[in-house]
Chain A
Amino acid sequence: MQNPANAALRRIKKLANKCLLNIPKILFLGYGFGISVGAFSQEISSPDCKDCKPLNEVQVFGFSPEKFMAGLKVQKIDSVNLARYQHQSLSDFLQFQVPIALKSYGSGQLTTISFRGTSASHTAVLWNGLNINSPTVGLSDLSTIPLMGFDQMAIQFGSSASCVGSDAVGGSILLNSVPNWNNKGINSVVGGQLGSFRSGNLNAGLRLSRTSKNGVLNGKTLFYGGNIRNFNGKTPANDEVRIDRKGHEYSIEPSKTTQKGFVQDLYFRFDTKKKSTYRLIYLNTWFTDNKLTIQPSVINFREITQTQAFRFIGGTQLDNTSVKLGFIRDILDYGKGDFSNPSQASTDRYIVRAEHDFVFHKNPANLTFRTGGEFVHYATKVDGYGPNIVYENRGDAYALIRKTFDWNNQTNKIITTLNLRQAFSNFYKAPFTPAFGFIFNLFTNKLQQLEFLANVARSYRLPTLNERYWKVLGNPDIQPENGFNKEIGLEYKKFHGKYFKSSLSVNAFHNLIDNWTYWNPEKNYRVENLQQVLTKGLEFNSSFKYNNFIQQKTAGLILAYSLTDASQQKVYDVYSQNLIGKQLIYVPYHAISGSIFYGQKSWNASVQGVFNSVRYFTFDHSGQPLPPYFIVNATLTHKIKFMSQAANLVLQANNITNTVYPNIKRNAMPGVNFQLAAVFNFHQ
């Protein structure tokens, strides 16, 4: 759903003086977590490439929340993929990784994600553990998050609010920066990309590692910048349209997105002379600036949205204790014409988080007990809230427990997690949020493994600042939303001989979300806790992979399908009867994503496809829905030696069938287009 506050804002601005009534104008499968059982676990981590090595480090560094998500489905994105598509934004990347609903306003424009039929604000986007959703609108515009900004990524389905906090009602996206301790000396990287529509990107950076007598310093510095356009020529014609196979025409909305940013990560691990102790201090910095201009060629027609984020984390990890200090400034400016007088929204967040893991030394793997607390101070200045800075404090206290059990002399046969969380605020009562996760290893032998997963969780979403403070339309009495998610799954993995492996998983979920907020048109778009939504569905993931180390050949087929049924449950006014039980807007019943790849020595070719069934954009399914679409991308990569150093060439062809399909504003998405990228690595 389009964020109604923004919609309301724009509408109000455009229509301010109208009469009263007119105002409202991924590719690995999830392997479960942590310690797997028996011989199989050693096989799993067989890396496809050198780049994958840093993945192992995460067990050491950081307080990975996934450990406490037993029974939830988590898909880790492999680092090869992240590197291959590093010039993309999350919005372009994600749609080919998982069958998920993305709601896009156009190429390079606002794109939000919907997990399992929930809304964008029910997705926690975490960067190094901190929620980076915009506090004003309560969601992340994935088009403004480039893959350049982080090193690892995982997609988690289902409610994990008890583990990661507010917003994780439908799912979460976990983005992490990680040190590469294996790296020695200085590695520098220079990359660039050129594409259709005069689009292009540049990036330059270095990774360094220095060992001193006190310890090891590891760091990463990266600058990136680029443009995305969706039109040819300097001044696009006003009447340009694309026509689909059924003859329906969609107009092309010219836009230009300029993205730039800077990443600085620094880690210092103290040499403690003892393996049993671990001391680390670190700094993560990420500045990102995204400027979207619609109708860039004509000043009078321009509509500009500038999204900036300044993110800092300073932290320390001393054995089992972690303290994190964070500062995030989010700026969202929106304006017309020469952008001389934009409406402005700026929010600062000061974050303190402390965690301690109690590990019971007799058998550390069996029981981990983590306690933690977080305090966030908000200071926000938004034109729509009035002239004053608005302050708010929020707090969280939590206990996360993981216990494994042996059974019939099999170790770790059962993994359980119990999470308890309570959020605090002066203004509203957040629900107590417990969650219980369970993994039962049905059988494991050298060649195959079958696990049963289950998770029952409460979840919550705290009100956004817009919901609380927007003049007149906001509602100081707004309450947090709360969800109750239940899910079960089966995960099966098998090796076929030396080189082949396959996996199959099935998950079923049922999530009831209550107090769902709604900007109620009947009350001039005042926000209220009016709705109740039930989402339920099935997900299938399968893969079949071939990896021959000796001949350096890889091949594979990955296919994922999701069935999502999401509907309104509660009648809140006489006209809401028309929408009860009907599929929520922008949520496809059926979504499929798949890819097929083949690699030999320095070459790799892959084809990715995504299908979305029909999507409605009206509550009662009236009017012409957004038609189903199927789009296919193809990627060819080649490693070369350049000045005796490694370089990667990536040729990408997007939408190769030249499918015409509309975005949310019912404008045409780009047809077939191409990108050629080269990334050079220099090692000193």
Chain B
Amino acid sequence: MLNQFLSARTLRNLSLISLTTLALSSCEKTESTPTQPYDDGVFVINAGNFFDNNGTLSLVSRDRKITATDIFLKENNRSIAGGITDYSEVDEKGVILVDNSTDGKDVIEIVNARTFKSIASLKGEIDNPRKVIKVGTNKAYITCWDTFNADYTYKQGFVAVLDLVLNKITKKIPVDSGAEDITVIGNLAYVGNIDARPTIKVIDTQKDEVKESIEIGANPNNFVLDAANKIWMTSANAIILFDPITKTFNTKLKASTNDKKTPSSLCMSKDKKTLFCTYNFFDSADGYKLKGEISAIDISTGTHKTFINRAFSSVGFDSESEIIYTSLIPSYKQSGYIFRYQTSGILIDSVKVEIAPSRFYFK
């Protein structure tokens, strides 16, 4: 979740987006067809169902209940050949991480972020790509699990260096197994994992080398930055705050008193004062029903409250409209929904999207 926010913010900081420029989705046949508004809106990453290989990206309009579905197919007359694990933008290029059910068939799709026309497809170069983030001009990092061992344990993970000028993977930097979330502060990239490794790997983005390994606790993941550039993350079923300067972590937050619940999908309000997360569990006492909530944590006091008493698969905060986006997956064989809430917790609307909405990219 975090890296979308980061990327979005970085992009804004660089003032790269001008909302009024010609929307260019150049229709070859009929000039009168309105162009697709890929310059603005909220991208919903629909992971798809694993063996159906049907990940899609939807674009939801911020102010209206309009969704453009499967925009990649619309613009390229071919489907994404796999599930989608992440989407992010780097210097007007969109990078889509595609996880096919067959090993060796994963793809990095590179598109023009404004027209969504394909620029390049890197096929079979990396396996199990997880997250993508901008680390420099026309340069992105992609965390990868690689293929599994015969016993389904993770191999050593790596961070693939993507050159968006050459459209090539130029290097693979070995990191911990189960490499997952990644965040960038200055010239340093912090890489977490979901293979119970207790460490964060720090990569020098200039040299593309691991600079150090910092012990944190099992499964450091779900990174989000606060106003002081400290990293909030989940680790060992708790939410902790990591200071990259002092390399220490100090706050251990349990988002509620139920130890069975797992915090995930962290995001930060625009004013950087409130941290939101999903906090879900399957209730063995009640037929293993999925239960949970969206928690809101006041980061200055550490106090938490139930923001929305409903189980969602993810939560995201759109800083531009100051609206909270949540996603719901009824099953992996039917369309999911997103629900939009005001910061007061009032439900605005719900919008049907596609299969397994799992993350957002706010543009």
The interface of chain A, by Cβ under 8 A from chain B, is 2, 7, 10-11, 13-14, 16-22, 24-25, 105, 238-239, 246-251, 253, 294-295, 298, 300-303, 335-342, 472, 521-524, 526, 573, 575-576, 578-579, 585, 617-620, 622-624, 664-667
B220 located at the interface, meaning its Cβ lies under 8 Å from any Cβ of chain A in the complex: no
B83 to chain A, nearest CB (A): 7
B150 located at the interface, meaning its Cβ lies under 8 Å from any Cβ of chain A in the complex: yes
B351 to chain A, nearest CB (A): 13
Contact B152 A301 (CB under 8 A): no
A522 to chain B, nearest CB (A): 6
Which of these binds chain A: B33-41, B198-206, B277-285, B317-325? B277-285
Contact B178 A301 (CB under 8 A): no
Contact B148 A14 (CB under 8 A): yes
Those of B54-68 within 8 Å (CB) of chain A: 54, 56
B217 located at the interface, meaning its Cβ lies under 8 Å from any Cβ of chain A in the complex: no
Contact B288 A472 (CB under 8 A): yes
Which of these binds chain A: B9-17, B20-28, B74-82, B296-304? B74-82
Among A25, A337, A619, find the residue whose CB has the most chain B CB atoms closer than 10 A. A25
With A521-B329, A521-B331 as given contacts, are A238 and B123 in contact (CB-CB < 8 Å)? yes
Bound-state CA distance A275–B298 (Å) is 94
Contact A620 B335 (CB under 8 A): yes
Bound-state CA distance A350–B154 (Å) is 40
Contact B79 A248 (CB under 8 A): yes
Contact residues in A for B346 (Cβ distance below 8 Å):
none
B3 located at the interface, meaning its Cβ lies under 8 Å from any Cβ of chain A in the complex: no
B53 located at the interface, meaning its Cβ lies under 8 Å from any Cβ of chain A in the complex: yes
Q: Can you identify 10 A-B contacts, CB atoms within 8 angstroms?
A: A2-B51, A14-B152, A17-B219, A238-B104, A295-B104, A301-B103, A336-B149, A522-B289, A664-B52, A665-B51
With A619-B331, A622-B354 as given contacts, are A340 and B150 in contact (CB-CB < 8 Å)? yes
Contact B56 A20 (CB under 8 A): no
B330 located at the interface, meaning its Cβ lies under 8 Å from any Cβ of chain A in the complex: yes
Contact residues in B for A19 (Cβ distance below 8 Å):
194, 221, 262, 264-265
Contact residues in B for A2 (Cβ distance below 8 Å):
51
With A21-B264, A524-B288, A665-B52 as given contacts, are A575 and B152 in contact (CB-CB < 8 Å)? no
Contact B355 A622 (CB under 8 A): yes
Contact A623 B56 (CB under 8 A): yes
Task: List the 5 shortest-distance A-B pairs measured between CB atoms, nearest first.
Answer: A238-B124, A575-B330, A337-B150, A301-B103, A301-B104
Contact A523 B123 (CB under 8 A): no
Those of B156-171 within 8 Å (CB) of chain A: none
With A303-B103, A523-B289, A524-B290 as given contacts, are A14 and B335 in contact (CB-CB < 8 Å)? no
B73 located at the interface, meaning its Cβ lies under 8 Å from any Cβ of chain A in the complex: yes
Contact residues in A for B334 (Cβ distance below 8 Å):
575, 578-579, 618-620, 622
A131 to chain B, nearest CB (A): 27
Contact residues in B for A246 (Cβ distance below 8 Å):
77
Contact B290 A523 (CB under 8 A): yes
Contact B52 A11 (CB under 8 A): no
B313 located at the interface, meaning its Cβ lies under 8 Å from any Cβ of chain A in the complex: yes
- Other 16 A-B pairs with CB < 8 A, given A19-B264, A21-B329, A578-B330: A17-B195, A19-B194, A21-B313, A248-B78, A250-B81, A300-B103, A301-B147, A337-B147, A337-B148, A521-B330, A524-B288, A573-B330, A575-B331, A575-B334, A619-B334, A622-B69
B349 to chain A, nearest CB (A): 16
Contact A624 B79 (CB under 8 A): yes
Bound-state CA distance A470–B278 (Å) is 28
Contact residues in B for A20 (Cβ distance below 8 Å):
262, 264, 280-282
Contact B78 A16 (CB under 8 A): no
Contact residues in A for B124 (Cβ distance below 8 Å):
238-239
Those of B211-254 within 8 Å (CB) of chain A: 219, 221
Q: How many residues of B contact A (CB 8 A)?
A: 60
Contact B50 A7 (CB under 8 A): yes
Contact residues in B for A24 (Cβ distance below 8 Å):
329, 332
Among A239, A338, A524, A622, find the residue whose CB has the most chain B CB atoms closer than 10 A. A622
Bound-state CA distance A579–B47 (Å) is 20
Contact residues in A for B147 (Cβ distance below 8 Å):
300-301, 336-337
Bound-state CA distance A136–B37 (Å) is 50
Contact residues in A for B148 (Cβ distance below 8 Å):
13-14, 336-337
The residue of chain A having its C-beta at the shortest distance from the C-beta of B130 within the complex is: A18
Bound-state CA distance A491–B69 (Å) is 48
Contact A522 B53 (CB under 8 A): no
Contact residues in A for B150 (Cβ distance below 8 Å):
335-342
Bound-state CA distance A7–B50 (Å) is 9
The residue of chain B having its C-beta at the shortest distance from the C-beta of A623 within the complex is: B54
Contact residues in B for A13 (Cβ distance below 8 Å):
148, 152
Contact residues in B for A338 (Cβ distance below 8 Å):
150
With A21-B329, A22-B358 as given contacts, are A623 and B70 in contact (CB-CB < 8 Å)? yes
A618 to chain B, nearest CB (A): 5
Contact B81 A666 (CB under 8 A): yes
The residue of chain B having its C-beta at the shortest distance from the C-beta of A664 within the complex is: B51
The interface of chain B, by Cβ under 8 A from chain A, is 47, 50-54, 56, 69-70, 73, 77-79, 81, 83, 100-105, 121, 123-124, 147-152, 154, 178, 194-196, 219, 221, 262, 264-265, 278, 280-282, 287-290, 313-314, 329-335, 354-355, 358
Contact residues in B for A298 (Cβ distance below 8 Å):
103-104
Bound-state CA distance A472–B287 (Å) is 10
The residue of chain A having its C-beta at the shortest distance from the C-beta of B152 within the complex is: A13
With A335-B150, A336-B149, A666-B79 as given contacts, are A623 and B355 in contact (CB-CB < 8 Å)? yes
Contact B149 A25 (CB under 8 A): no
Contact B102 A301 (CB under 8 A): yes
Contact residues in B for A578 (Cβ distance below 8 Å):
330, 334-335
Contact B70 A624 (CB under 8 A): yes
Bound-state CA distance A567–B87 (Å) is 35
The residue of chain A having its C-beta at the shortest distance from the C-beta of B121 within the complex is: A239
Bound-state CA distance A253–B148 (Å) is 18
The residue of chain A having its C-beta at the shortest distance from the C-beta of B287 within the complex is: A523
Contact A523 B282 (CB under 8 A): yes
Bound-state CA distance A523–B291 (Å) is 9
Contact B358 A666 (CB under 8 A): no
Bound-state CA distance A619–B329 (Å) is 13
Contact of B52 among A21, A253, A666 (CB under 8 A): A666
Bound-state CA distance A507–B100 (Å) is 42
Contact residues in A for B100 (Cβ distance below 8 Å):
251
Contact A21 B102 (CB under 8 A): no
Bound-state CA distance A666–B264 (Å) is 31
Contact residues in A for B101 (Cβ distance below 8 Å):
665
Contact residues in B for A667 (Cβ distance below 8 Å):
53, 102
The residue of chain B having its C-beta at the shortest distance from the C-beta of A521 within the complex is: B331
Contact residues in A for B121 (Cβ distance below 8 Å):
239
A72 to chain B, nearest CB (A): 32
Bound-state CA distance A300–B124 (Å) is 12
Bound-state CA distance A145–B116 (Å) is 46
Contact residues in A for B355 (Cβ distance below 8 Å):
618, 622-623
Bound-state CA distance A618–B55 (Å) is 13
Bound-state CA distance A666–B290 (Å) is 30
The residue of chain A having its C-beta at the shortest distance from the C-beta of B262 within the complex is: A20
Bound-state CA distance A53–B50 (Å) is 49
The residue of chain A having its C-beta at the shortest distance from the C-beta of B312 within the complex is: A21
Contact A665 B104 (CB under 8 A): no
A250 to chain B, nearest CB (A): 8
B232 to chain A, nearest CB (A): 16
Contact of B330 among A472, A522, A623, A664 (CB under 8 A): A522
Contact of A617 among B52, B79, B195 (CB under 8 A): B52
Bound-state CA distance A384–B194 (Å) is 22
Contact B290 A522 (CB under 8 A): yes
Contact residues in A for B102 (Cβ distance below 8 Å):
253, 294-295, 301, 303, 665, 667
Contact A248 B77 (CB under 8 A): yes
The residue of chain A having its C-beta at the shortest distance from the C-beta of B260 within the complex is: A20
Contact A25 B83 (CB under 8 A): yes
The residue of chain B having its C-beta at the shortest distance from the C-beta of A617 within the complex is: B52
Contact B78 A249 (CB under 8 A): yes
Contact residues in B for A105 (Cβ distance below 8 Å):
51
Bound-state CA distance A17–B79 (Å) is 28
